[in-house]
Amino acid sequence: MKTVIIGSGNVAYHLAKALLGSGVPLVQIFGRNTEQLRSISYETGVPFSTETLSDADLYIISVRDSTIGEVSRKISNPYSLVVHTSGSIPLDALEGNYHKGVLYPLQTFSKSKPLDYKKIPFFIETQFPEDRVILKNFIKNISPKIMYADSTQRQYIHITAVFVCNFVNHLFAKGKEIADREDIPFEYFLPLIEETVEKIKEVTPKQAQTGPAVRNDKNILVRQENLIQDEMALAIYKIMNQSIQKMYEL
Amino acid sequence: MKTVIIGSGNVAYHLAKALLGSGVPLVQIFGRNTEQLRSISYETGVPFSTETLSDADLYIISVRDSTIGEVSRKISNPYSLVVHTSGSIPLDALEGNYHKGVLYPLQTFSKSKPLDYKKIPFFIETQFPEDRVILKNFIKNISPKIMYADSTQRQYIHITAVFVCNFVNHLFAKGKEIADREDIPFEYFLPLIEETVEKIKEVTPKQAQTGPAVRNDKNILVRQENLIQDEMALAIYKIMNQSIQKMYEL
C-alpha cells in the first residue's frame, strides 16, 4: 500500500518512525510546517512536501483536531483509504469522496522520547466493513494490539486517557509544586509513583486505594486542608477526597 | 540494637520483612490483632505478644495514626529510642519519657505485594541530634535513601504523596469506571499510564503535560464535559482542566 502521512507533529513523527521501523515504506510526508517536515524527512529519509500531495492508497492524517476537515479535502482519489488519528473527532469529520477510517493510537507522544511501538494499542474504525481488515493488517506491522471502536466509544477512550494520563501528570505537577516549596527532591516520590502503577496490574484501582480519604481519617483530612496553601491544589484536594469517599460510600 | 515492632498492619509487616531480610534481628512483634500478629510471626519467625511488651533499645510503632499516642505510653524505658512511622503525625505525639523519633517510609504498602525495600526513601526525625546517626545507621540496613525531615516538612511530604499516589490511583479508578461502561478493557490503558510515568523521569511534569486543556482546545473540553455522565467524574474533569489552564496561564 502506497502510504502518505499528513502532518508533522508528535503523532505523525512517531507513526512514520514506527512504520519505517516495521518495514512499511512511506511515499511522502506532507504538511505545512517546512522546518518540522524537513527534520522528520532528514531522520527518516522519506521525501516531504508542503505543496503537492502524492497519490496514495492510504493517507494517515495526523494534524490538530480542528484542521482535520480542511486537510482531508485535499484528497480526491475515491479509491484511497483516508484515516485520521484523533481520539475525539468522529470518522465523518473527514470530508471527501473516499474510503474513511480512524486509526487512534492510545499513547502519549513526545518527539524526544523513543517508544516501544509494539505496546501501543490501536483503536480502528472504518466507514466500510471491508476496509477494517485492510487497516488491521496494515497496523499489525506496528503492534498486535488492535481493537475496533466506533466514534462514540473512541470519545470515551479519549476521556479515560485524559483521566489516567493528562490529569495524572497534572497531579504530578501539583505534587511537585508542594514538594519544591519544602525543598523535598521530587525524585524521592518516583518509587511511590511506580509502585502506585505496579499495584493496578495486580488488583483493580478500586481495590488498591490507600490514603486518609479511604481510611476516613477526618483528623488528617482537615489538617491537610489547612496546610495546603495553593488555591487550585486545595480545590483538587477537596474534590478528590470527596470522590474517593463517595466511591467507597463513606 | 534490640528492636521491637509494634503493630500488625501493612507497614509493620513490610518493615519486619525488610529488617529481617537485611539481617537485623527482631525481638518481638507486639500488637492487639492476634490473628494478624500470628500470621506475621509465622512468616518471619519473630515471636509476638498482645500482652507483655519486651524491653528493647528501639521500638518502631506502626499503628494507625489516632492510636500512636496511646500505644506509646506503654513504653517506660527512658534509654529506648521510640519512633513512629506516620507521615502526618508530629514527633511529639509520642507520649513518654524516652528518646523520640520518626521513621517515615515513603511508599504505599499492601501485604500481598513484595517490594524492593532498597528503593524506599526513609524520612527521619529525632528529638536529640545524637539519635539521628543511630537511626540513620539502623535504616541503612534497609535502604540507602535516607533524608532528614522535620514534622512540618514531613506533613508536606505526606500531602505530596496523597497527590501523586492516592489521588493518582483514584484517577485510575474513575478512568476505569468510564472505560468499563463502554466495554473497553482497562489494561489497554496500561502502556499509556506507564509512559506517563516514564516521561517525568526525563522532563518535569510541567513540561510533560499534554491533552486538551494545555492545548487550550475549547471544542474538545466542552464536548467531553457533555459526554461525562458521572457527577464526581465531571467535577474532577472541570477542576483538573481549570488547574492545568491556570498553571499554563491559558
Question: Which candidate, A236, A183, A246, places its Cα nearest to that of A213?
Answer: A246
State the Cα–Cα distance between residues B12 and B10, nearest whole angstrom: 6
Nearest by CB to A227, from B155, B173, B206: name it: B155
pLDDT at residue B221 in the model = 97
With CA atoms as reference, the chain B residue closest to A173 would be B205
Question: Residues A26-53: what's their mean pLDDT?
Answer: 97
Residue B114 has a pLDDT of: 84
CB pairs under 8 A between A and B: 320
Task: Mark residue B113 as left, alpha or beta (left: phi above 0; alpha: psi -120 to 50; beta: remaining).
Answer: beta
CB within 8 Å: A209 and B173:
yes
The cell numbers describing B19, all together, are 529488617
Per-residue pLDDT, A38 = 97
The residues of chain B scoring below 70 in pLDDT are none
Nearest CA of chain A to the CA of B96: how many Å?
A: 22
**Chain B residues within an 8 Å CB radius of A227:** 155-156, 159
B contact test, residue of A170, A219, A231 with most B CBs within 10 A:
A170
pLDDT band at A114 (very low <50, low <70, confident <90, very high): confident
Answer whether A196 sits within 8 Å of B110, measured CB to CB.
no
Q: Are A189 and B196 in contact (CB under 8 A)?
A: no
Query: If pLDDT is split at 50, 70 and 90, which confidence band does A109 have?
Result: confident
Cα separation, A213 vs A226, whole angstroms: 15
CB B107 within 8 A of CB B115: yes
Q: Is the pLDDT assigned to residue A199 strictly greater than 90?
A: yes
Residues of B in contact with A214 (CB under 8 A): 166
Q: Which domains does chain B carry? A: 3-149 (3.40.50.720), 155-247 (1.10.1040.20)
**Residue A88: pLDDT over 80:** yes
Residue A69 with chain B: CB contacts under 8 Å: none
Which of the residues B67, B68, B146, B170 would you substitute to probe the A interface, choosing the one with the greatest number of A C-beta atoms within 10 Å? B170
> Averaged over A16-28, what is the pLDDT?
95
Gap between the Cα atoms of B172 and A206, Å rounded:
8
* Chain B interface test: which of A151, A192, A249 (most B C-beta within 10 Å): A192
Q: Which residue of B has its CA nearest to A205?
A: B173
What is the structure's pLDDT at B234?
A: 98
E strand or H helix at B49, and its extent? strand B48-49
Q: Which of B65, B197, B204 sits opposite A176 (nearest CB)?
A: B204
pLDDT of residue A166: 98
Q: What are the chain B neighbours of A154 within 8 Å (beta carbons)?
A: none
Report the percentage of chain A scoring pLDDT > 70. 100
Q: Which three cell numbers stand for residue B138?
A: 539502623
pLDDT band at A218 (very low <50, low <70, confident <90, very high): very high
Question: Stretch A125-138: mean pLDDT, rounded?
Answer: 97
Q: Do B170 and A243 touch (CB under 8 A)?
A: yes
Predicted local distance difference test score (pLDDT) of residue B216: 94
